[in-house]
């Protein structure tokens, strides 16, 4: 019985892949879940595995560009791993055969059915996410797991989440820590149901049993793939390209296996320099050699950092982005906070910060200038009758932008509570995909790091972003007199394709007016 192995779906935006390397050759015997080829898309490299044991017949060549669903190979069902082990076992002397235990009679009952096997795959975690990184195994290869128990931690460019066991059984890991996996890729398998034979054991016929008993050593079990110092297929390819010996690489994967991340960070040792002939010492004044140790340190970019970089470049290239500036006198808000912050915290349980005033001012200004909160979809402009405000937060793994839903209908206290919750989740890397998607306008505060002025980049697909900066006391003219006031520069970056100069400037002026007279926020005027 034959089985066609096809190119799997690897993301809704990917329509074709390239067959970069065959890991098994035409005619080879392969085991179930064994890596047979390496496929490469424009976003990631991933492994193609055998969906059953048998003999491999290749249908595509290395370098071929294949559409999703194309047949890559065919696996003809073979005699199984036992026969393969028997073929490989060397013949032993007859005396050794006589000492071997007697084989079971031909009429012996058939071995128990193999336990059921369930593949655990990378789940869909958002329509814009096509790949994730396996950041950590919570359970180890060979562990017994319970249904719904967390077994691994996956990381996308937007969030970190746990992968759970879909049934109880024995865990068999396939992917390694640090591997980048497309959506739908097999991460591991769970064997369960019925009594299991020891891991790696295979049912054999009497004749094969004799051959195995004669041999001094049986074929290694599949688990030896994870031996210390053995590279994964992707890691082996990278090390070969670099010319790095695997013996010089310290594996950080399961049981010391060399992962793709280990291979990327591995460096080829420099050849020993020949001992130079003795030369007269040069005068100390003529030496230009640097003083002190000099070294470089390389770190693999996280999925979040790579995605942020890609999106920022795309925004700069695909939008007509401009920035307009203004300044706001913060003294009215600072006086209001100083007068009521203790009572506010006593009543609502949260502090009264600046961000709630800015969020409220933005929602009011968006009602007057809705184009600032609109977005372009194809050849249409989409206007929203609500304000979902994205707040940029600096998290341990990078910049994240959680969203406050329906901020236009919230009070200052409700906004402050929402900010506290979202910021806490960001620091603990517990934000969900839903909590970071769908905003209509973004606010970012570079002032907390000391920035005086900046041109923030639009958070696509939104059309505008407001940048807050630090508050500095400066001399300003008020009613013909020079006075010292706490001033802040505001920056509004906007997409000129959809927002005209009149709208952007008027929007920012309205925000300034509301902040300099905060009673308007309470009265809605």
Give the number of domains in the chain. Answer: 3
Distance CA 373, CA 458 (A): 12
pLDDT along the chain (525 residues), means of 10: 84 74 90 86 75 90 87 78 43 41 44 69 77 88 89 80 88 90 91 49 38 38 51 73 78 70 73 55 56 85 76 87 95 92 92 93 95 93 94 82 94 93 88 87 92 92 95 93 96 95 95 91 70
Instruction: Classify residue 59: in a domain, yes or no.
Output: no
Instruction: Classify residue 72: in a domain, yes or no.
Output: no
Cβ neighbours of 133 (radius 10 Å): 25
Residue span of the structural domain in which 161 resides: 108-197
Q: Beta strands of 318-400 (E only): which ranges?
A: 321-329, 375-377, 380-382, 389-391, 393-395, 398-400
pLDDT of residue 42: 62
pLDDT of residue 316: 85
Both 185 and 242 in one domain: the answer is no
Residue 379 Cα distances to 229, 314, 428, angstroms:
54, 18, 39
Instruction: Classify residue 147: in a domain, yes or no.
Output: yes
Both 112 and 258 in one domain: the answer is no
pLDDT of residue 330: 95
pLDDT of residue 489: 96
Both 175 and 324 in one domain: the answer is no
Both 344 and 249 in one domain: the answer is no
Has 469 been annotated as catalytic? no
Instruction: Classify residue 10: in a domain, yes or no.
Output: no
Both 429 and 518 in one domain: the answer is yes
pLDDT of residue 127: 60
Instruction: Classify residue 58: in a domain, yes or no.
Output: no
Q: Please answer whether residues 376 and 463 qualify as being in contact, where contact means their C-beta atoms are separated by less than 8 angstroms.
A: yes
Cβ neighbours of 391 (radius 10 Å): 24
Both 518 and 408 in one domain: the answer is yes
Instruction: Classify residue 151: in a domain, yes or no.
Output: yes
Q: What is the pLDDT of residues 76-110, one digit of tens each?
A: 986 444 444 444 444 444 343 444 444 444 444 44
Has 29 been annotated as catalytic? no
Instruction: Classify residue 70: in a domain, yes or no.
Output: no
Residue 364 token pair: 């009011």
CB neighbour list of residue 306: distance below 8 Å, 6 or more residues apart: 157
Distance CA 469, CA 400 (A): 18
What long-range pairs does 103-112 form, CB within 8 A, spacing at least 24? 103/206, 103/207, 103/209, 103/210, 104/206, 104/209, 105/206, 106/206, 108/206, 111/203, 112/194, 112/195
CB neighbour list of residue 425: distance below 8 Å, 6 or more residues apart: 402, 431, 435
Task: Spot the catalytic one: 87, 342, 434, 496.
Answer: 496
pLDDT of residue 367: 94
Both 250 and 338 in one domain: the answer is no
Distance CA 119, CA 46 (A): 17
Both 254 and 351 in one domain: the answer is no
Residue 171 token pair: 């865990």
Q: Supply the DSSP string of 380-423, one letter for each residue.
A: EEE--SS--EEE-EEETTEEE--EETTGGG--HHHHHHHHHHHH
Q: What is the largest CA-CA distance in the chain?
A: 114
The domain that holds 163 is classified in CATH as: 2.40.50.100
Both 370 and 468 in one domain: the answer is yes
Q: Which residue has the tokens 């491999």?
A: 56
CB neighbour list of residue 315: distance below 8 Å, 6 or more residues apart: 321, 457, 458, 459, 460
pTM over 0.85: no
The helix (H) or strand (E) run that includes residue 482 is strand 481-495
Report helix angle 331-348 to 412-427, nearest 10. Answer: 80
Task: Spot the catalytic one: 64, 342, 500, 517.
Answer: 500
Both 329 and 427 in one domain: the answer is yes
Instruction: Classify residue 71: in a domain, yes or no.
Output: no
Domain boundary residue among 241, 265, 289?
A: 265
Both 455 and 511 in one domain: the answer is yes
Q: Helices (DSSP H) in 157-270: which residue ranges?
A: 206-214, 233-242, 260-265
Both 174 and 113 in one domain: the answer is yes
The domain that holds 310 is classified in CATH as: 3.30.559.10
């Amino acid at each position: 019985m034959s089985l066609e192995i096809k190119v799997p779906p690897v993301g809704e935006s990917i329509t074709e892949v390239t067959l970069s390397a065959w890991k098994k050759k035409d005619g080879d015997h392969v085991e179930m879940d064994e890596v047979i080829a390496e496929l490469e898309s424009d976003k990631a490299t991933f492994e193609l595995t055998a969906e059953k044991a048998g003999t491999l017949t290749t249908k595509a060549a290395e370098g071929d560009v294949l559409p999703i669903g194309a047949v890559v190979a065919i696996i003809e069902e073979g005699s199984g791993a036992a026969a393969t082990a028997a073929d490989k076992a060397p013949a032993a002397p007859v005396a050794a055969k006589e000492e071997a235990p007697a084989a079971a009679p031909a009429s012996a009952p058939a071995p128990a059915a193999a336990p059921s096997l369930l593949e655990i795959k990378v789940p869909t975690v958002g329509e814009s996410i096509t790949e994730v990184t396996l950041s950590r195994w919570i359970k180890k290869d060979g562990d017994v797991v319970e249904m719904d128990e967390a077994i691994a931690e996956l990381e996308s460019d937007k969030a970190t989440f746990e992968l759970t066991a879909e049934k109880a059984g024995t865990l068999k890991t396939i992917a390694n820590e640090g591997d980048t996996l497309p959506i739908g890729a097999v991460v591991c398998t769970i064997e369960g149901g019925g009594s299991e034979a020891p891991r790696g054991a295979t049912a054999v016929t009497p004749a094969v049993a004799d051959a195995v008993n004669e041999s001094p050593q049986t074929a290694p079990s599949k688990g030896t793939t994870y031996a210390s110092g053995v590279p994964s297929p992707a890691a082996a390819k990278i090390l070969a390209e670099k010319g790095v010996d695997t013996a010089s690489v310290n594996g950080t994967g399961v049981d010391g296996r060399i992962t793709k991340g280990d291979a990327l960070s591995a460096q080829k040792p420099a050849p020993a320099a020949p001992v130079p002939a003795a030369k007269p010492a040069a005068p100390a004044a003529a030496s230009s050699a640097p003083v002190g140790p000099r070294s470089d340190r390389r770190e693999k970019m996280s999925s979040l950092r790579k995605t942020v970089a890609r999106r920022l470049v795309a925004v700069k290239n695909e939008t007509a982005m401009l920035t307009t500036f203004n300044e706001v006198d913060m003294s009215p808000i600072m006086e209001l906070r100083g007068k009521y912050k203790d009572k506010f915290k006593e009543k609502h349980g949260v502090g009264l910060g600046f961000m709630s005033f800015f969020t409220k001012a933005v929602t009011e200004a968006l009602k007057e200038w809705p184009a600032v909160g609109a977005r372009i979809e194809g050849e249409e402009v989409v206007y929203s009758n609500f304000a979902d405000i994205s707040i940029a937060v600096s998290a341990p793994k990078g910049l994240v932008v959680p969203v406050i839903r329906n901020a236009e209908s919230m009070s200052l206290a409700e906004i402050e509570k929402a900010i506290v919750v979202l910021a806490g989740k960001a620091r603990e890397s517990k934000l969900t995909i839903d909590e970071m998607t769908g905003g209509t306008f973004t606010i970012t505060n570079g002032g907390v790091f000391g920035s005086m002025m900046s041109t923030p980049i639009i958070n696509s697909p939104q059309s505008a972003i407001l940048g807050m900066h630090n508050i500095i006391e400066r001399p300003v003219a008020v009613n013909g007199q020079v006075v010292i006031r706490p001033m802040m520069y505001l920056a509004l970056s906007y997409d000129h394709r959809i927002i005209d100069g009149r709208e952007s400037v008027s929007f920012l002026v309205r925000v300034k007016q509301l902040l300099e007279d905060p009673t308007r926020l309470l009265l809605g005027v």
